[in-house]
Protein backbone atom coordinates (compact mmCIF):
# COMPACT_ATOMS: atom_id res chain seq x y z
CA UNK A 1 0.00 0.00 0.00
CA UNK A 2 1.25 3.47 -0.87
CA UNK A 3 -0.01 6.69 0.67
CA UNK A 4 -0.67 10.14 -0.74
CA UNK A 5 -1.52 13.20 1.34
CA UNK A 6 -3.65 15.97 -0.20
CA UNK A 7 -3.87 19.35 1.50
CA UNK A 8 -4.10 23.10 1.20
CA UNK A 9 -1.30 25.36 2.33
CA UNK A 10 -0.94 25.32 6.10
CA UNK A 11 -2.97 22.15 6.72
CA UNK A 12 -0.03 20.08 8.03
CA UNK A 13 0.25 17.78 5.02
CA UNK A 14 4.04 17.50 5.29
CA UNK A 15 3.80 16.62 8.97
CA UNK A 16 1.24 13.90 8.29
CA UNK A 17 3.37 12.53 5.43
CA UNK A 18 6.34 12.44 7.80
CA UNK A 19 4.32 10.49 10.39
CA UNK A 20 3.13 8.05 7.73
CA UNK A 21 6.73 7.39 6.67
CA UNK A 22 7.75 6.96 10.29
CA UNK A 23 5.01 4.40 10.87
CA UNK A 24 5.98 2.54 7.69
CA UNK A 25 9.60 2.52 8.95
CA UNK A 26 8.50 1.41 12.42
CA UNK A 27 10.30 4.28 14.12
CA UNK A 28 10.36 8.05 14.16
CA UNK A 29 12.58 9.41 11.43
CA UNK A 30 14.83 12.47 11.84
CA UNK A 31 12.97 15.57 12.95
CA UNK A 32 11.21 17.22 9.97
CA UNK A 33 10.98 20.74 11.43
CA UNK A 34 12.72 23.78 10.02
CA UNK A 35 13.32 27.24 11.51
CA UNK A 36 9.75 28.37 10.76
CA UNK A 37 8.32 25.39 12.66
CA UNK A 38 6.91 23.72 9.56
CA UNK A 39 7.80 20.29 8.16
CA UNK A 40 8.73 21.57 4.71
CA UNK A 41 12.28 20.23 5.16
CA UNK A 42 10.88 16.69 5.12
CA UNK A 43 12.53 14.47 2.55
CA UNK A 44 10.78 11.10 2.88
CA UNK A 45 8.86 8.83 0.48
CA UNK A 46 5.14 9.60 0.94
CA UNK A 47 3.89 11.92 -1.79
CA UNK A 48 2.47 15.18 -0.54
CA UNK A 49 0.07 16.87 -2.98
CA UNK A 50 -0.06 20.52 -2.02
CA UNK A 51 -2.63 22.86 -3.56
CA UNK A 52 -5.33 22.46 -6.17
CA UNK A 53 -2.94 22.48 -9.12
CA UNK A 54 -1.47 19.22 -7.81
CA UNK A 55 -4.74 17.34 -7.23
CA UNK A 56 -7.62 18.93 -9.19
CA UNK A 57 -6.86 16.67 -12.17
CA UNK A 58 -7.26 13.54 -10.03
CA UNK A 59 -10.51 11.54 -9.88
CA UNK A 60 -11.89 8.12 -9.00
CA UNK A 61 -9.95 7.94 -5.76
CA UNK A 62 -12.13 5.05 -4.62
CA UNK A 63 -11.09 2.94 -7.64
CA UNK A 64 -7.37 3.06 -6.82
CA UNK A 65 -6.98 -0.02 -4.62
CA UNK A 66 -3.20 0.37 -4.30
CA UNK A 67 -3.20 3.87 -2.82
CA UNK A 68 -4.56 5.29 0.41
CA UNK A 69 -5.49 8.95 -0.06
CA UNK A 70 -5.57 11.15 3.04
CA UNK A 71 -6.94 14.70 2.83
CA UNK A 72 -6.08 17.20 5.56
CA UNK A 73 -9.20 19.37 5.79
CA UNK A 74 -10.44 22.15 8.04
CA UNK A 75 -13.47 24.16 9.10
CA UNK A 76 -13.86 27.73 7.85
CA UNK A 77 -13.10 29.17 11.29
CA UNK A 78 -9.45 28.16 10.73
CA UNK A 79 -9.01 30.39 7.67
CA UNK A 80 -7.12 33.09 9.68
CA UNK A 81 -4.65 30.42 10.72
CA UNK A 82 -4.30 29.16 7.13
CA UNK A 83 -3.68 32.68 5.87
CA UNK A 84 -1.00 33.30 8.51
CA UNK A 85 0.61 29.92 7.86
CA UNK A 86 0.81 30.58 4.12
CA UNK A 87 3.14 33.52 4.82
CA UNK A 88 4.66 32.37 8.09
CA UNK A 89 5.28 28.63 7.75
CA UNK A 90 5.27 27.70 4.06
CA UNK A 91 8.99 27.98 3.57
CA UNK A 92 12.20 26.04 4.12
CA UNK A 93 13.48 28.19 6.96
CA UNK A 94 14.99 30.99 4.87
CA UNK A 95 13.40 33.61 7.15
CA UNK A 96 15.10 32.16 10.26
CA UNK A 97 11.73 31.98 11.99
CA UNK A 98 8.21 33.16 11.23
CA UNK A 99 7.78 34.56 7.71
CA UNK A 100 5.06 36.98 8.83
CA UNK A 101 7.48 38.64 11.26
CA UNK A 102 9.89 39.00 8.36
CA UNK A 103 7.40 40.52 5.91
CA UNK A 104 6.29 43.04 8.53
CA UNK A 105 9.82 44.47 8.44
CA UNK A 106 10.71 44.09 4.76
CA UNK A 107 8.16 42.85 2.23
CA UNK A 108 10.44 43.24 -0.76
CA UNK A 109 13.16 41.05 0.73
CA UNK A 110 10.51 38.62 2.02
CA UNK A 111 9.33 38.09 -1.56
CA UNK A 112 12.89 37.92 -2.88
CA UNK A 113 13.83 35.20 -0.39
CA UNK A 114 10.62 33.43 -1.40
CA UNK A 115 11.81 33.35 -5.03
CA UNK A 116 9.03 35.69 -6.19
CA UNK A 117 6.25 33.49 -4.81
CA UNK A 118 4.52 36.59 -3.46
CA UNK A 119 4.75 38.70 -6.61
CA UNK A 120 0.95 38.84 -6.78
CA UNK A 121 0.80 40.47 -3.35
CA UNK A 122 3.05 43.24 -4.62
CA UNK A 123 0.74 43.67 -7.63
CA UNK A 124 -2.33 43.85 -5.36
CA UNK A 125 -0.70 46.32 -2.97
CA UNK A 126 -0.16 48.57 -5.98
CA UNK A 127 -3.74 48.03 -7.18
CA UNK A 128 -5.46 48.62 -3.84
CA UNK A 129 -3.20 51.26 -2.27
CA UNK A 130 -1.12 52.67 -5.13
CA UNK A 131 1.95 51.50 -3.22
CA UNK A 132 5.06 50.50 -5.18
CA UNK A 133 7.23 47.85 -3.52
CA UNK A 134 10.70 47.61 -5.04
CA UNK A 135 14.38 47.66 -4.09
CA UNK A 136 14.13 51.40 -3.37
CA UNK A 137 10.91 51.10 -1.34
CA UNK A 138 11.04 47.76 0.44
CA UNK A 139 8.76 48.23 3.44
CA UNK A 140 4.96 48.30 3.64
CA UNK A 141 3.60 50.45 6.49
CA UNK A 142 1.98 48.22 9.10
CA UNK A 143 -1.43 49.87 8.87
CA UNK A 144 -1.48 49.25 5.10
CA UNK A 145 -0.54 45.61 5.63
CA UNK A 146 -3.38 45.37 8.15
CA UNK A 147 -5.84 46.81 5.62
CA UNK A 148 -4.49 44.51 2.91
CA UNK A 149 -5.01 41.38 5.00
CA UNK A 150 -8.43 42.68 6.11
CA UNK A 151 -9.40 42.51 2.44
CA UNK A 152 -8.16 38.92 2.34
CA UNK A 153 -10.67 38.09 5.08
CA UNK A 154 -13.48 39.87 3.28
CA UNK A 155 -12.83 37.93 0.07
CA UNK A 156 -12.05 34.62 1.76
CA UNK A 157 -15.02 32.88 0.10
CA UNK A 158 -13.11 33.29 -3.17
CA UNK A 159 -9.72 32.43 -1.77
CA UNK A 160 -8.07 29.38 -3.28
CA UNK A 161 -7.50 27.81 0.14
CA UNK A 162 -11.26 27.72 0.74
CA UNK A 163 -12.15 26.44 -2.73
CA UNK A 164 -9.43 23.76 -2.55
CA UNK A 165 -10.56 22.70 0.91
CA UNK A 166 -14.20 22.46 -0.22
CA UNK A 167 -13.14 20.36 -3.21
CA UNK A 168 -11.24 17.93 -0.99
CA UNK A 169 -14.24 17.52 1.29
CA UNK A 170 -16.45 16.52 -1.66
CA UNK A 171 -14.23 13.70 -2.92
CA UNK A 172 -15.25 10.07 -2.55
CA UNK A 173 -12.60 7.49 -1.67
CA UNK A 174 -10.51 9.96 0.34
CA UNK A 175 -9.94 9.59 4.09
CA UNK A 176 -10.44 13.00 5.70
CA UNK A 177 -8.26 14.09 8.59
CA UNK A 178 -9.44 17.31 10.18
CA UNK A 179 -6.77 19.64 11.53
CA UNK A 180 -8.58 19.68 14.89
CA UNK A 181 -7.58 16.00 15.08
CA UNK A 182 -4.01 16.77 14.04
CA UNK A 183 -3.71 19.33 16.84
CA UNK A 184 -4.92 16.80 19.44
CA UNK A 185 -2.23 14.19 20.13
CA UNK A 186 -4.56 11.50 21.46
CA UNK A 187 -6.95 11.78 18.52
CA UNK A 188 -4.09 11.82 16.02
CA UNK A 189 -2.51 8.75 17.62
CA UNK A 190 -5.85 6.93 17.35
CA UNK A 191 -6.00 7.86 13.68
CA UNK A 192 -2.61 6.27 13.03
CA UNK A 193 -3.56 3.24 15.11
CA UNK A 194 -6.59 2.74 12.86
CA UNK A 195 -4.39 3.19 9.78
CA UNK A 196 -1.54 0.87 10.76
CA UNK A 197 -3.00 -1.36 13.46
CA UNK A 198 -0.86 0.29 16.11
CA UNK A 199 0.70 3.72 16.57
CA UNK A 200 4.17 4.93 17.52
CA UNK A 201 4.66 7.07 20.60
CA UNK A 202 5.27 10.52 19.12
CA UNK A 203 4.05 12.70 22.00
CA UNK A 204 7.34 14.59 22.42
CA UNK A 205 7.48 15.29 18.70
CA UNK A 206 3.86 16.46 18.73
CA UNK A 207 4.64 18.80 21.63
CA UNK A 208 7.47 20.26 19.57
CA UNK A 209 5.10 20.53 16.60
CA UNK A 210 2.67 22.63 18.68
CA UNK A 211 5.34 24.69 20.43
CA UNK A 212 6.91 25.80 17.14
CA UNK A 213 3.62 26.67 15.45
CA UNK A 214 3.73 30.48 15.62
CA UNK A 215 0.77 30.79 13.26
CA UNK A 216 -1.53 28.77 15.50
CA UNK A 217 -0.37 30.64 18.60
CA UNK A 218 -1.11 33.96 16.93
CA UNK A 219 -4.55 32.76 15.82
CA UNK A 220 -5.49 31.47 19.27
CA UNK A 221 -4.28 34.65 20.96
CA UNK A 222 -6.35 36.80 18.59
CA UNK A 223 -9.40 34.69 19.44
CA UNK A 224 -8.74 35.18 23.16
CA UNK A 225 -8.71 38.94 22.68
CA UNK A 226 -11.97 38.82 20.72
CA UNK A 227 -13.52 36.71 23.47
CA UNK A 228 -12.46 39.29 26.07
CA UNK A 229 -14.14 42.04 24.03
CA UNK A 230 -17.32 40.01 23.81
CA UNK A 231 -17.25 39.51 27.58
CA UNK A 232 -16.46 43.21 28.10
CA UNK A 233 -13.32 42.31 29.98
CA UNK A 234 -10.39 44.75 30.00
CA UNK A 235 -7.09 43.02 29.25
CA UNK A 236 -3.83 44.23 27.79
CA UNK A 237 -3.17 43.32 24.14
CA UNK A 238 0.33 41.94 23.84
CA UNK A 239 2.38 41.23 20.71
CA UNK A 240 0.26 39.98 17.82
CA UNK A 241 1.03 39.76 14.12
CA UNK A 242 -0.35 42.15 11.54
CA UNK A 243 -2.50 39.28 10.21
CA UNK A 244 -3.83 38.72 13.73
CA UNK A 245 -4.66 42.43 13.92
CA UNK A 246 -6.45 42.29 10.56
CA UNK A 247 -8.44 39.24 11.70
CA UNK A 248 -9.55 41.03 14.86
CA UNK A 249 -10.48 44.21 13.00
CA UNK A 250 -12.54 42.18 10.54
CA UNK A 251 -14.40 40.33 13.30
CA UNK A 252 -14.95 43.53 15.29
CA UNK A 253 -16.35 45.30 12.26
CA UNK A 254 -18.79 42.44 11.74
CA UNK A 255 -19.84 42.62 15.39
CA UNK A 256 -20.12 46.42 15.65
CA UNK A 257 -21.58 46.64 12.18
CA UNK A 258 -21.77 50.41 11.72
CA UNK A 259 -18.45 51.29 13.39
CA UNK A 260 -15.31 51.19 11.21
CA UNK A 261 -12.18 49.32 12.29
CA UNK A 262 -10.72 48.97 8.81
CA UNK A 263 -8.66 52.14 8.47
CA UNK A 264 -7.13 52.79 11.91
CA UNK A 265 -3.45 53.71 11.77
CA UNK A 266 -2.52 52.35 15.19
CA UNK A 267 -3.84 49.13 16.66
CA UNK A 268 -5.46 48.98 20.09
CA UNK A 269 -3.34 48.43 23.20
CA UNK A 270 -6.10 46.85 25.30
CA UNK A 271 -9.59 45.47 24.99
CA UNK A 272 -10.76 48.33 27.22
CA UNK A 273 -9.55 50.72 24.52
CA UNK A 274 -11.63 48.80 21.97
CA UNK A 275 -14.71 48.97 24.18
CA UNK A 276 -14.25 52.72 24.74
CA UNK A 277 -13.78 53.26 21.00
CA UNK A 278 -17.15 51.59 20.42
CA UNK A 279 -18.89 53.29 23.35
CA UNK A 280 -17.89 56.81 22.40
CA UNK A 281 -17.93 56.55 18.62
CA UNK A 282 -20.01 59.50 17.31
CA UNK A 283 -23.55 58.47 16.39
CA UNK A 284 -23.57 60.85 13.44
CA UNK A 285 -20.57 59.06 11.90
CA UNK A 286 -21.83 55.50 12.23
CA UNK A 287 -22.19 53.79 8.88
CA UNK A 288 -21.75 50.17 7.74
CA UNK A 289 -18.73 49.29 5.66
CA UNK A 290 -19.53 49.79 1.97
CA UNK A 291 -18.26 46.30 1.16
CA UNK A 292 -20.61 44.77 3.74
CA UNK A 293 -23.55 46.65 2.26
CA UNK A 294 -22.70 45.52 -1.27
CA UNK A 295 -22.42 41.91 -0.11
CA UNK A 296 -25.45 42.01 2.18
CA UNK A 297 -26.26 38.32 1.72
CA UNK A 298 -23.06 37.39 3.56
CA UNK A 299 -22.97 40.25 6.04
CA UNK A 300 -25.79 41.25 8.35
CA UNK A 301 -25.78 43.52 11.42
CA UNK A 302 -24.75 42.07 14.78
CA UNK A 303 -23.18 38.92 13.42
CA UNK A 304 -21.56 37.03 16.28
CA UNK A 305 -17.82 36.76 16.65
CA UNK A 306 -16.43 33.56 15.14
Same domain, 31 and 122: no
Q: Dihedral sign for Cα 260, 262, 265, 266, please.
A: positive
Residue 184 maps to a domain: yes
Residue 27 maps to a domain: yes
Residue 291 maps to a domain: no
- Whether the per-residue pLDDT at 303 is higher than 60: the answer is no
Q: How far apart are CA 38 and CA 95, in angstroms?
A: 12
Same domain, 72 and 119: no
CA distances from residue 235 to 32, 72, 259, 272, 275 in whole angstroms, order as listed = 37, 35, 21, 7, 11
- What pLDDT does residue 306 have? 45
Which of the four pLDDT bands, split at 50, 70 and 90, describes residue 304?
very low
Out of 34-48, 186-200, 233-247, which region has the weakest mean confidence (pLDDT)?
A: 34-48
- What pLDDT does residue 206 have? 97
Same domain, 105 and 53: no
**Cα 270 to the center of its chain, rounded Å:** 24
Same domain, 8 and 69: yes
Residue 124 is given by DSSP the state H
Residue 83 maps to a domain: no
- What pLDDT does residue 42 have? 67
A 10 A CB-CB count for 301 gives 12
Question: What are 190-214's pLDDT values in tens digits?
Answer: 999 999 999 999 999 999 999 999 9
Residue 130 maps to a domain: yes
- What is the value of pTM for the model shown? 0.91
Residue 109 maps to a domain: yes
Domain termination site, one of 213, 233, 259:
213
Higher pLDDT, 296 or 235: 235
Residue 195 maps to a domain: yes
Domain termination site, one of 140, 166, 191:
140
Helices 142-154 + 119-129 axis angle, to 10: 100
- Whether the per-residue pLDDT at 1 is higher than 90: the answer is no
Query: Which has the closest alpha carbon to 182: 6, 11, 47?
Result: 11
Same domain, 105 and 134: yes
- What pLDDT does residue 3 have? 94
Question: What are 168-185's pLDDT values in tens digits?
Answer: 999 999 999 999 999 999
The beta strands (E) that lie in the chain are given as 2-7, 47-50, 67-73, 175-178
Q: Calculate mean pLDDT across residues 60-66.
A: 86
Residue 191 maps to a domain: yes
Helices 160-170 + 79-88 axis angle, to 10: 120
Same domain, 17 and 133: no
First to last CA, the chain: 40
Same domain, 171 and 106: no
Domain termination site, one of 183, 198, 213:
213
Same domain, 189 and 133: no
Q: Indicate the burial class of 164 (C-beta count within 10 angstroms; 0-12, 13-18, 19 or more).
A: buried
Q: How far apart are CA 232 and CA 194, in angstroms?
A: 44
Residue 76 is given by DSSP the state G
H helix intervals, 130-171: 142-154, 160-170
Query: Which has the closest alpha carbon to 16: 153, 139, 179?
Result: 179
Same domain, 8 and 70: yes
25: containing domain: 2-76+158-213
Same domain, 162 and 63: yes
Question: What are 88-139's pLDDT values in tens digits?
Answer: 987 777 888 899 999 999 999 999 999 999 999 999 999 999 999 999 999 9
Counting the structural domains of the chain, the total is 2
Same domain, 117 and 6: no
Q: What is the percent of the chain with per-residue pLDDT over 70, rounded to a whole number?
A: 96
Out of 52-56, 161-165, 216-220, which region has the weakest mean confidence (pLDDT)?
A: 52-56
Same domain, 68 and 129: no
A 10 A CB-CB count for 223 gives 19
Amino acid sequence: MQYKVLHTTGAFGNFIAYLIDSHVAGQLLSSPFNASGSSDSRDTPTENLHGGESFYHMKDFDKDTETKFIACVWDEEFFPYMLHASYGRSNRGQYSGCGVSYLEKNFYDFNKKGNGHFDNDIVLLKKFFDLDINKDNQNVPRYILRQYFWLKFFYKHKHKFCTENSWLKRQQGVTQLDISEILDYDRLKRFFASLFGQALDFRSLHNEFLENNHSMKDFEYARQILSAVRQESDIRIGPVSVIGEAFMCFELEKLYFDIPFFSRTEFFKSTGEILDYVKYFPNSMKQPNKLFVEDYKRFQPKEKLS
